[in-house]
Amino acid sequence: MQKPTIRSGIAAMLLSLLCAGPALAATAAPLPPITQGSYWNVIGQRLTYIQEGTKGPVIYDFFDPNCPYCHGMYDEEQPLIRAGKLTVRYVPVAYLMPSSAPEAAAILQSPHRLSALRHFGYS
C-alpha cells in the first residue's frame, strides 16, 4: 500500500499537534515513538475519518462542512475514486462558521457517515 499524502498546511499542522503527545497536553495519552515507517499507522489509528474508495493511493482530506473549496475538492476527487485510482479519508474539522461544529458532529455521529457527508452538500 502506498503512503497517504496530505493536501493542506492546516492538515500538516493538525497532524503535528496530534502526534506531539503529552508535550502539548498533559492529559493526552503518550504516543509510541514515531519512526518514518510508523507515522501513517499512528495517524490512521488516532483519527476519525470517513473513507471513500478502496483502491489507489490513500489521501487524508481535512474539510469543513461550510467550505466551498472543500466542496470543490470533493467534486474533483470523485472521478478518481469511481475509477478505482484513489482512496480518500475525509476528516471533518470545524472552523469556518458557528454551524461547522454541529454539522461535522452530525456527520460523524451518523450511522451512515458517507451518506451524511453527501447530505451536507458533498455530492
Q: What is the pTM of this model?
A: 0.65
pLDDT at 51: 92
pLDDT at 38: 66
Q: How far is CA 36 from CA 9, 31, 65, 104, 106, in A?
A: 19, 14, 32, 31, 34
Positions in the chain whose pLDDT score sits under 70: 1-40, 43-44, 121-123
Under 8 Å between Cβ of 116 and 104:
no
pLDDT at 121: 63
